[in-house]
Each structure stands twice: as structure tokens, then as C-alpha cells.
Structure 1
Amino acid sequence: MKLLEPIKVKDTEFKNRVMMSPMCMYSVEKQDGVATDFHYVHYVTRAIGGVGYIMLESTAVLPNGRISYEDLGLWDDKHVAPLKKIVDAVHKYGAKIGVQISHAGRKSRTDNIVSSTDVPFSDKNLTPKMLDEEGIKEIVKAFGQAARRANEAGFDSIELHGAHGYLIAQFISDVTNQRTDKYKDGTLFLKEIIDEVLLYFPKEKILQIRVSGYEYHDLGMTPYDWASILNTFKDKIDIVNVSSGGILPTPVKDYPGYQLPYAKIIKEETGLVTIGGGQIDDPLLAEAAILDGTMDMAYFGRKLLKEPYFIFQLDDQLLPKQYTRARGLISK
């Protein structure tokens, strides 16, 4: 089964093509951004379950960049040790692990929020302060310091959160960027972040980006738009993780595999290693998409929340030795 075959990106070999999608757990206990015992158990369980690639949830580069007060952070050196404990255990069980570093911008539910714009996300959200150049530089430097800490924690990769209408997307998308300064070209903000991150994160490791391949708005990004941008960074970006939506509170009619066409276009237009998904509950759908060239790896979210050991249903020969007495008893 192709989904369970290894894939190598640069110097990193993933034992299979299953990625755990970054999903906020809202489980920080003291609003300090520090990982807890829950985070440890949550991620290590998926490593024991055979997942080849685990992407840690949205982890903020600054306190006001959190989606919520209960989110993880990488804005302080105190965050490193608890994350390293998770990374080391995940590695012990044969998985690779990355961290999604992010800034929520106007979608943050904290205080003193900022954005590319001064227009709130919705009438239920606070009005953001439009960033000036000094504020932008502070955020860019924060991404670099988060990358340094991610490397100290031992992560195999960093994922820049450029999807779902968060700050990078707020600069990239014409829906939220009507600036008149040099950052009217939102790719400049992304370029500065990438360059700053690569000052601190080893080039032999993986740098990837998550994008909303389609934003469900006439002014929004399309997969062709993102492909054009990504082609300018192909010497720096190794993997693209394709999602959709989030720039506005617009309902989306989702269904199993609804985002795969966007992944296919981006893969074809860029040639980058591409991860796709979206409401995929049946691994055979992911298998078919990999076989037909739509993507190289598949991400699973809700599937791994409810079935952390679903990989063993595909091949019970992969069961860890502690669980071998269950071989032949797992329903398929």
C-alpha cells in the first residue's frame, strides 16, 4: 500500500505517508503557552499508533499571536524543554515530528491584536491594529526566534501557518490586504519570515508551509495564485501542506477529499512535495490520491482523534510488540 510506504525529503525519511494534521487542543493550563502532560500523551500516542509524521498544533511566536489563551507558544525559552520531551518520545517510537509556528493576527482571541488591516474578522472579533513597519519587523524576528527554539527542541521540521486566514494569509490575500506601503505585496512579509527562519533553522531540516489553496471569495487566493508564489520560494520551501478557507467566516460545503483538487493543482504547478487532505475518513481515498499523483502524503485530523491506531487496521503486522496479541483481531 503506497500510503504505508516510506518517503524521503532531503535527509529525512518518513516511514510512511500518513501525517497527523495540526489541530489546536486548547489544553494549555496556565495561559503561559507551555506544553502539558496532555500534549505529551496526545502526540506520543499517535507515534505509538504508527503515524509517520506528526505536526504539532498551531504554536504562537508571540503572546498576541495565539488563536486562544489555551494555545501553545514558542515565544520564550521556557517553552523548549516540555516540547523537547514530546519530540524525544515521538522519535523513540519511530515518527518524525514538526511544529507549526504561527501568528493568528486579527483572528486571535487574545488582547492587543494586530493585522495587515484594521478591519475585524467578524462582528464578534476585536478590531485589530494595523501593523506598521516596526511592528512587522518585530513579528518577523519572533518567527526567527521561534525557529531557533524549535531546533533546540529537536523538531525535524517547521511548518509556517500561511492558511486559514491567519496573519501570513492576511498579508497574502487581497481580501485582507489593501495596504498602500511596500507590504501591499504580501509576499514580501512571507519572504522576510522565510529568510529569518532559515537563519536559525538548519537548512538540512525541512521547512514547509500550510496554505489555503482556495479562499471561497472572489478576491481570495486560488491554487494557481499560491503556486505562482511558491515557485518563487522553491529553493527554500521543501513541502506544501494544502488546506482551504478561513479568510472570512464563510460556510464551506465540505465532503471527503474536497480539498484534494487544490493540492493536485499546486503539486502539478510547483513540483513540490505536497500533502493533501480534508475530511478524509477512508484511508483508501488517500491511497488513491497518492497513486494518481494528486499528492505525495496525506494528512488526517479527525480520523486520528477518534482512531489513533487506524494504521494497524490497514496492516496489523505493524503492531508494536506490546500489542501483538491483538493481531488478527483488529476489525478492518
Structure 2
Amino acid sequence: MASVIDKPILINGKEVKNRILMPPLVCFNWADDDGFETVDRQRHYGLRAQGGTGLIVVEAAAVSKEGRLAASQLGIWKDEHIPQFAKIAQECHKHGAKVVVQLVHAGMKSVGDKVFVPSPIKTEENSKEYTPMTLEDIQKLKEDFINAAIRAQKAGLDGVEVHGAHSYLLNQFTSPLINKRDDLYGGTMENRFRLPLEIVQEIRKACGQDFIISYRFGVNDPTFAEDKHLAQQLEKLGVNILNVSNGIGIKNLEVPQDFPFSFITYMGVELRKAVNIPVACVFGIREPKEAEYLLEKDLIDMVAVGRALLADPNWTNKAIKGEAINLCYHCKPRCKYSVDGHTCPWFKTLNF
């Protein structure tokens, strides 16, 4: 009997060979201060493609140096960065995977002493200088996202994922908890959503109709009703898949007691009902039986398997064949890849 995981899906007319998505997982301390890899990402992502994963989202790449979420983060803010992504694209395609790169500006979570924010932030004893963005700054930010997407296309990637979750800059703009602007980019729901929608619209215009645009969607900012509206507007303007994760808002949607996964996973399942494009859910899905449950019950279109794919690059092929996987240890206090992936208990098995 064929595995429900091993069922193709169309994303913007491109066939993804199965329902497993590798979400963007930053490998900290694997890049230098100028955004260039110091550990081979062609090998890192190629192993997961060779292991059967259908869609790979390359870890967050900064669209500008001042927008980095870490000093050791990959960059895509200049043309010199294109070759490192071209190697990833070539290797993943060789093994039949589709591959996109996540684009991010961290906003108030950026490294450095001076960081951009949507509006003034009151802080106490904080060494960072928060700089509210002018309209000129916003225009520059849009150009940074668009130019980064063009670079991804030149590299041969299938598309990009715009990061609108995890309290980073676009999430800060959509959230009334952070965005206190009183111009066309703040205040009303429509104004708070304007920036990510303009970015998506301009990427579609610049990169054409065949380019995949994913959106990393931060749920509950501040209500699920607003989430649905933003998701529908993103779909109208060219987003092809929603990769749903956490946002800034509070937990105000009750999860049924019989739902066996996390609140974040549940929000992906619920948001799927509001749109007509594929939706992926995420968070703590480590074993094939968990992905199979979500797919067999038609709760979601794709399952994002994160740390489990770090522990076992062959997770997808093993899941399809019913073979035992290398089970992620769920290391505490945090995943070893948040410090240096070489310290992951499973890394020594990779012949990296």
C-alpha cells in the first residue's frame, strides 16, 4: 500500500513529488559576517533532497546586512551571494526536490546597535537604537526584498518564501501590538497588512508567473479573523503556498481536546479552510505516523518536518518505505543547530 506521504502536489503548476516540506532552519555559526557560507550548504540541503524530501525551504537569508537575525546568517543582499544558492539549487534539483529560499528582515530582532522598527519602541536599559522607519526606509526595504527574490531566481531556485512570522519585521508591521504608525502602513488592518502585500505583489511582477512564492505566516496577530483576511489577500496577490507558524499575537483560539498536536499545528489546519492554495503545518512533528495522521485525515496539504530532518536526512524516504528513522532527541534547552549543527548527536552519522 502506497504511503499517503508519497503523493505529489502541484504548487503554482510545479509538481512537488510528495507531501514533506523541510522548513527553514537556520544553521547558526555556519556563515561569516558578510553573509557567505562557511559550511557547505550544497551538501547540507543536498542530503535532505537525496533523502526524498519534496520541497526544501532554505534557511532564512537576510535581504540586507542591517536586517540580519544573527551575525552568522546567510545573506542574499548582493549579487556575490548568488553562487552559494546556485549550488544548492543544482544539488536539490539533481535529486528531484523543489527548493526555495526564505527571505527575512529581522526588524527589532536584528543584530547590531541600530535596528529598524515600524514605530517607536519604549525600552529600558537596552543597548540597541531602535529607528522608526520612514516612508523612504520602507521603499528601500521593498526594493531589498524584490532584489533578493530576483537573485534567488538567477540562482535557479524555484521560488522564495517571504518571512512574515516569528516576530520579525513584516510580522511587526502586521501586528497592532508592535505597529503604532498613523500613516498608510499602520492603524487599520488594511494599512498594517499593506507592506507584506506590496512586497508579494512586486515579487510576482519582477519574477513572473512561474516563480513560486511561499509566505511564512505568523498566526493570531491579533485574531484568527484577521489571519484569514490576510491569508486570502496574500492568495489574491500571488502567494502559492502558506507555511504556517507562530506570530506575535496571543493564544485566543481554543484547540479541541482531541487534537493530538500543538496549537501552532492546529492554526495551520484551521487556516487551510480559509484559502484555496496549499497550506503546510509545522511544529514538533518528528515521526512518520504523525505526518500520516495529518495527511490521511485531510487536515493539511503538506507537513513541515524540521528537526527530524536535521536528525535524519533520509527521513522522508524512510517514512515512505515504512523504515525506522533516526529519532530527533529534541535536545534541551534548545536544538544543537541553534549553536552549531556539528554538535547534533546525529551529525557524526552524516559523513559530512
Which residue, 278, 294, 297 being the options, matches 1:289?
294
State the partner residue of 1:231.
232
State the partner residue of 2:70.
68
For 1:201-216, list aligned pairs within 5 A: 201-214=207-220
Which residue, 26, 29, 34 being the options, matches 1:27?
29
Quote the Cα distance in structure 1 between the aligned partners of 2:290 and 2:14. Answer: 25
Query: Alpha-carbon deviation of 1:166?
Result: 0.4
Letter in 2 for 1:266: L
Match of 2:310, SS state, is helix
Query: Alpha-carbon deviation of 1:82?
Result: 1.5
Which residue, 257, 279, 284 being the options, matches 2:284?
279
Match of 2:286, SS state, is coil
State the partner residue of 1:14.
16
Query: Alpha-carbon deviation of 1:122?
Result: 8.8
Mapped contact 1:144–1:199 kept (Cα < 8 A): no
Runs of 5+ consecutive residues of structure 2 not aligned to the other structure: 251-259, 324-352
Query: Alpha-carbon deviation of 1:120?
Result: 6.6
For 1:159-238, list aligned pairs within 5 A: 159-184=161-186, 185-214=191-220, 220-235=221-236, 236-238=238-240
Report which stretch shifted further, 3-12 or 128-137. Answer: 3-12
Quote the Cα distance in structure 2 between the aligned partners of 1:228 and 1:123. Answer: 38
Runs of 5+ consecutive residues of structure 1 not aligned to the other structure: 215-219, 249-254, 319-332
Query: Alpha-carbon deviation of 1:264?
Result: 1.7
Residue deviations 1:214-237, cap 9 Å, x none? 3xxxxx433332211121232311
TM-score normalized by structure 2?
0.82
Residue deviations 1:163-213, cap 9 Å, x none? 001000000001101111111122111122112212322211211101111
For 1:1-332, list aligned pairs within 5 A: 1-119=3-121, 126-184=128-186, 185-214=191-220, 220-235=221-236, 236-245=238-247, 256-316=261-321
Query: Alpha-carbon deviation of 1:41?
Result: 1.6
State the partner residue of 2:327.
none
Residue deviations 1:280-301, cap 9 Å, x none? 1122222221222321001011
TM-score normalized by structure 1?
0.86
Letter in 2 for 1:233: L
Quote the Cα distance in structure 1 between the aligned partners of 2:229 and 2:171. Answer: 15
Mapped contact 1:27–1:38 kept (Cα < 8 A): no
Quote the Cα distance in structure 2 between the aligned partners of 1:21 and 1:92. Answer: 20
Quote the Cα distance in structure 2 between the aligned partners of 1:158 and 1:57. Answer: 11
Question: For this pair of structures, how many residues does the alignment match?
Answer: 307
Output the aligned Cα RMSD. Answer: 2.1
Query: Alpha-carbon deviation of 1:121?
Result: 8.4
Quote the Cα distance in structure 2 between the aligned partners of 1:77 and 1:125. Answer: 32
Query: Alpha-carbon deviation of 1:11?
Result: 2.2
Query: Alpha-carbon deviation of 1:28?
Result: 4.3
Mapped contact 1:81–1:153 kept (Cα < 8 A): yes
Mapped contact 1:19–1:52 kept (Cα < 8 A): yes
Match of 1:204, SS state, is coil
